[in-house]
Amino acid sequence: MTIFMTRHGQTDWNLQKRVQGRVDIPLNKTGIEQAKITSQKLKNEKIDIIVCSPLIRAKKTAEIINEKLHCPIIYEENIAERDFGELEGKLTSEFDFSTFWNYQKNVKYEKAENIKEFFKRVYQTLDKIIAQYPEKNILIVSHGGVSVPVYCYFNGIPENENLLDSCCLNNCEVVKYSV
């Protein structure tokens, strides 16, 4: 089994460095082009199923990629982006963004999803996907935040302070994990 992971294409909020957890922001023109390029890169890969976040930026990316793959798309709520709660829409410079992504500090917020709870949600979903589709090759289309626990699931959690620095995918970057 192989799991491919890609992050959605660029949005205007990505450009502004604005956190967009559960806010349903669409792809911008660059994001659409990035998805088309990723579609070309993946067209010769054997992918059986796309598992996709239900947020519009991921859905549109998956639809564009699937123009070449022609496989079923399954929408999975548990690979939606981390819930940023009271931090939604803020610029990353307006709060301690590094601490927000520090697994060891595990800061609790009033509304935002705690990092260890977020990892647990993503890990359980990966366990479910692997158990449900053991003979299939899966493409996960999700978010930068989700790419962090996916990376850690397969590689372990690094010791560094800000996991985004070492584990987060760029828009439409693709990684491949063997199970």
Cβ atoms of 3 and 147 closer than 8 Å: no
Q: Tokens in use for 80? A: 């939606």
Tokens 């491919």, located at residue: 4
pLDDT tens-digit series, residues 143-166: 999 999 999 999 999 887 678 888
Query: Which residues in 128-149 are b (16+ Cβ under 10 Å) and which e?
Result: ebeeebeebbbbbbbbbbbbbb
Domain count, the chain: 1
Asked if residue 2 is part of any domain, the answer here is no
Asked if residue 113 is part of any domain, the answer here is yes
- Residue 118 one-letter amino acid: F
Asked if residue 4 is part of any domain, the answer here is no
pLDDT tens-digit series, residues 8-60: 999 999 999 999 999 999 999 999 999 999 999 999 999 999 999 999 999 99
Nearest to 35 by CA among 69, 74, 75: 69
pLDDT tens-digit series, residues 58-103: 999 999 999 999 999 999 999 999 999 999 999 999 999 889 999 9
Asked if residue 18 is part of any domain, the answer here is yes
Biggest CA-to-CA distance, the chain: 45
Asked if residue 3 is part of any domain, the answer here is no
Neighbours of 37 (CB within 10 A): 13
pLDDT tens-digit series, residues 119-131: 999 999 999 999 9
Specify the CATH number for the domain of residue 23: 3.40.50.1240
Q: Which residues are catalytic?
A: 8, 81
Cα–Cα distance for residue pair 160/162, rounded to 1 Å: 6
Range of the domain at 123: 10-137+146-174
Asked if residue 5 is part of any domain, the answer here is no
Asked if residue 40 is part of any domain, the answer here is yes
Cα–Cα distance for residue pair 166/147, rounded to 1 Å: 11
User: Percent of the chain at pLDDT above 90?
Assistant: 93
Asked if residue 92 is part of any domain, the answer here is yes
For every residue of 12-69, DSSP letters joined together read: HHHHHTB--SSS-PPB-HHHHHHHHHHHHHHTTS---EEEE-SSHHHHHHHHHHHHHH
pTM of the model: 0.96
Note the pLDDT of residue 46: 96
